[in-house]
Amino acid sequence: MRPAILNDLFSPVTALPGIGPKVEKLFRRLVDRADGARLVDIVLHLPSGAIDRRTRPKLRDVIAGQVVTIAVTVDHHRPPPKGRARAPYIIHASDETGDIVITYFSARPEQLEKLYPPGARRYVSGTAKHYDGVLQMVHPDKVVDELGLADLPLVEPTYPLTEGLYANQVRKAVQSALARLRPLPEWQDPAWIARRGFPSFAQALERLHRPRDLADVAPDSPAWQRLAYDELLAWQLALVLVRARLRRQRGRSTVGSGELRKDILARLAFELTPSQRHAYIEIVDDLARPMRMLRLLQGDVGSGKTIVALLASAVTIEAGRQAVIMAPTEILARQHLATVAPLAAATGMRVALLSGRERGRERALVLQALAAGEVDLLVGTHALFQDEVHYHDLALAVVDEQHRFGVHQRLALATKGEAVDILVMTATPIPRTLVLSCFGDMDVSELREKPAGRQPVDTRALPAERLDEVVAAIGRALDERRQVYWVCPLIEESALSDLAAAQERHAALRERFGDRVGLVHGRMRGADKDRAMRGFASGETPILVATTVIEVGVDVAQASVMVIEHAERFGLAQLHQLRGRIGRGSDRAICLLLYRAPLGEAAKARLAILRETQDGFRIAEEDLRLRGEGDVLGVRQSGMPGLRIARLHMHAQLLTAARDDAALILARDPQLSSPRGEALRTLLYLFEKDAATKLFQAG
């Protein structure tokens, strides 16, 4: 139930004067609410800037191009000559220091006559310029008389607009929506508010929509920060409430004998890194507890997440239950299987593969074995959770490279068994601020260090004109028995032409290097893809021309050279991912970023950062900084709720505070029943996190 105090704010914008159904559609688009714009959407539509009209020079002192408000006396009108309606309508005006010409194109004369009565004093605001030595203002923004001057917003907010909607319509709507705002109870901790010098919610809106200074509308102003904090707290509070609720959902305790794990560890050619061991212990712990696990295992490319997933699966298998490892691509699923298969054969683990490609009898057999409990570990793509897949006793789902999966799929998988524990793995380093906010409902394990013996990748950027040199260098690399990835970009809007580019490159390289060149791309048939990957892994085709299908998780240790064409088209995180495919073996690895000049500033910065560092976290932070919080790794897909006010790159500290605050609130007042708790419910509704409050009603 929405608190009654919010009813006004949640009424449709059509309740405002001058907004009919047609304009309402535009407002929907403006505030991105397909099912209707409401007053709350309007008041939270914050300015993108402001126009300062406070400069009030005499005409003599007007600076061309600057927004000014001038006080003038109207002298006379010069309407367009008869029959030349297209000619401008001109009004002459003056003050004691000079003259100005005010010009209108295709204006209605009656209107101008009313607006500028000869002899009257008018305050005119707009941008003036000199034209033929005469001071001129074309279409002033504002014209008022003495009375109107008092109401003239001297600092006028400007708003993000949408096509078809005028600045004035938005401004008016905001102002009348604001007028209907009723005082709301304070939901923030008064001490915190005082310490930060934050205004109240209503004062903050007032200050942003009726600024007194340009600084008032900046995202670092106290008013903006206050609202950002409200938004962040609502979000974080909803997360902790949901989480507390999920926590209470019982899971099953899964404890294994340790035998299988011992066997696996003994057969590995390496020792676990300290982070791997730590993550593994955390997971074993989670599994043992009679609550559901929801854990994010985050580790840069090559940090060795797969083995951790395998060990987690082993716990489940020891307990006589089933586990799945779900990969985003066919290639990766097969690779996981290839990694696991020898260990499985040696230790007696029963593994199977299920992807979109298994059909007919083969598929039927897998499904049958799975349902009968004759498969311990199933590796595959999203085919793993199709309707007709039934498990005997699924207890653990590992989701690799989570950002490719939607929340839906995650949930679908969880319904395949009884309180399935979930381990999500991501290689795309997500900045801490984002992990907290997107995955606030998850525990996080981090693989911080890379396995020993990894080589730094020598990264260089070259203009595409130097392709010949690159090809020559590839020739030398082949002589040294190195293997080479050659990456061609895949751009969504023209997948086909990019595919053509990859095919073309493949053909060109073949002319030079013969059948040592393989090709893999997303549109290939599965079997052909496998063949191409196998050819590369075995060293038969030591050059692999690929579209970005290799981006995620492929592990060919001997590959030590990578060429990325059109590197300027890739995002920073993606480049980092790609580069992570090399430098896994003992050879010194080289990554050549070919770009097409001239480079834009952002692209230049991306390539520079990549040359400078290989630290995935640092790269992720830079990425966030360069792009804004927008869509690092397609965060939107992964379920990050849209933020209207907070800017994660600017308000990261507020986010941290909101998180702590939310935890504290939960600890002190888990039912939100204190007076502040009541006010916080209003906050949750205001930012539409009311799903979280429904949990109370459910008990």
Chain residues that interact with Mg ion, rule: CB under 5 A: 553
Q: Is 10 exposed, middle or buried (0-12, 13-18, 19+ CB in 10 A)?
A: middle
How far apart are the C-alpha atoms of 292 and 280, rounded to whole Å?
A: 16
Residue 331 burial (CB count, 10 A):
25
- Kindly write out the interface string for residues 374-413 of this chain, putting x where it contacts ligand ADP by CB under 6 A and - elsewhere: ----------------------------------------
CB of 488 to Mg ion, least distance (A): 22
The residue number with the shortest CB distance to Mg ion is 553
State CA 511 to chain mean position distance: 42
State CA 477 to chain mean position distance: 38
- Of 162 and 339, CB closest to Mg ion: 339
> What is the rounded radius of gyration, in angstroms, for the C-alpha atoms of the chain?
32
CB of 161 to ligand ADP, least distance (A): 44
Q: Is 106 exposed, middle or buried (0-12, 13-18, 19+ CB in 10 A)?
A: exposed
Residue 651 contact partner, candidates ligand ADP, Mg ion, none, CB within 5 to 8 A by sort of partner = none
| 139, 126 Cβ separation under 8 angstroms | yes
The residue number with the shortest CB distance to ligand ADP is 304
- Of 437 and 445, CB closest to ligand ADP: 445
Q: Helices (DSSP H) in 322-359: which residue ranges? A: 330-347
State CA 135 to chain mean position distance: 48
How far apart are the C-alpha atoms of 501 and 514, rounded to whole Å?
A: 18
- Of 169 and 548, CB closest to Mg ion: 548
Residue 299 contact partner, candidates Mg ion, ligand ADP, none, CB within 5 to 8 A by sort of partner = ligand ADP
- Of 397 and 672, CB closest to Mg ion: 397
Residue 256 contact partner, candidates ligand ADP, Mg ion, none, CB within 5 to 8 A by sort of partner = none
Residues 6+ apart with CB under 8 A from 237: 658, 661, 662, 665, 666, 680, 683, 684, 689, 692
Tokens of 440: 């606030």
| 314, 266 Cβ separation under 8 angstroms | no
- Of 256 and 553, CB closest to Mg ion: 553
Residue 584 contact partner, candidates ligand ADP, Mg ion, none, CB within 5 to 8 A by sort of partner = ligand ADP
Tokens of 225: 């920060």
Of the CA atoms within 13 Å of residue 179, those in its CB half-sphere come to 8
CB of 420 to ligand ADP, least distance (A): 22
Residue 291 contact partner, candidates Mg ion, ligand ADP, none, CB within 5 to 8 A by sort of partner = none
| 443, 292 Cβ separation under 8 angstroms | no
How far apart are the C-alpha atoms of 480 and 502, rounded to whole Å?
A: 25
Residue 69 contact partner, candidates Mg ion, ligand ADP, none, CB within 5 to 8 A by sort of partner = none
Nearest to 3 by CA among 683, 689, 692: 683
Instruction: Using the structure block, give the residue that is written with the tokens 């390539």.
Output: 607
CB of 297 to ligand ADP, least distance (A): 9
CB of 436 to ligand ADP, least distance (A): 21
- Of 451-510, binders to ligand ADP (CB under 6 A) are 451
- Of 551-610, binders to ligand ADP (CB under 6 A) are 553, 555, 557, 584
- Of 188 and 614, CB closest to ligand ADP: 614
User: Could you tell me the maximum CA-CA distance found in the chain, to the nearest angstrom?
Assistant: 101
Residue 400 three-state SS = strand
How many residues lie near ligand ADP (CB under 6 A)? 19
CB of 579 to ligand ADP, least distance (A): 12
Amino acid found at 439: F
Nearest to 530 by CA among 661, 358, 649: 358
| 289, 419 Cβ separation under 8 angstroms | no
| 546, 469 Cβ separation under 8 angstroms | no
- Of 529 and 584, CB closest to ligand ADP: 584
Q: Report CA-CA distances (Å) from 629 to 139, 400, 425, 614, 653.
A: 38, 23, 21, 21, 14
CB of 425 to Mg ion, least distance (A): 7
- Of 208 and 427, CB closest to ligand ADP: 427
- Of 259-318, binders to ligand ADP (CB under 6 A) are 270-273, 276, 299, 301-307
Q: Specify the DSSP element, H or E, that contains 384.
A: none
Q: What is the DSSP letter of 12?
A: B
- Of 237 and 425, CB closest to Mg ion: 425
CB of 336 to Mg ion, least distance (A): 8
- Of 225 and 275, CB closest to ligand ADP: 275
Buried b / exposed e over 433-470, threshold 16 CB at 10 Å, is bbbbbbbbbbebbbbeebbeebbebebebbeeeeeeeb
CB of 139 to ligand ADP, least distance (A): 59
How far apart are the C-alpha atoms of 142 and 124, rounded to whole Å?
A: 6
- The backbone torsions φ and ψ at residue 692, rounded to the nearest 5 degrees and listed phi first, read -65, -35
Query: By CB under 6 A, is residue 328 in contact with ligand ADP?
Result: no
CB of 7 to ligand ADP, least distance (A): 51
- Of 39 and 424, CB closest to ligand ADP: 424
- Kindly write out the interface string for residues 180-219 of this chain, putting x where it contacts ligand ADP by CB under 6 A and - elsewhere: ----------------------------------------
Nearest to 648 by CA among 668, 629, 627: 629
CA torsion angle 359 361 363 365 (round to 10): 180
- Kindly write out the interface string for residues 78-117 of this chain, putting x where it contacts ligand ADP by CB under 6 A and - elsewhere: ----------------------------------------
- Of 298 and 547, CB closest to Mg ion: 298
Which residues share a beta bridge with 12? 38
Residue 192 contact partner, candidates Mg ion, ligand ADP, none, CB within 5 to 8 A by sort of partner = none
CB of 408 to Mg ion, least distance (A): 22
CB of 272 to ligand ADP, least distance (A): 5
Residue 302 contact partner, candidates ligand ADP, Mg ion, none, CB within 5 to 8 A by sort of partner = ligand ADP
Residues that bind ligand ADP (CB under 6 A): 270-273, 276, 299, 301-307, 427, 451, 553, 555, 557, 584
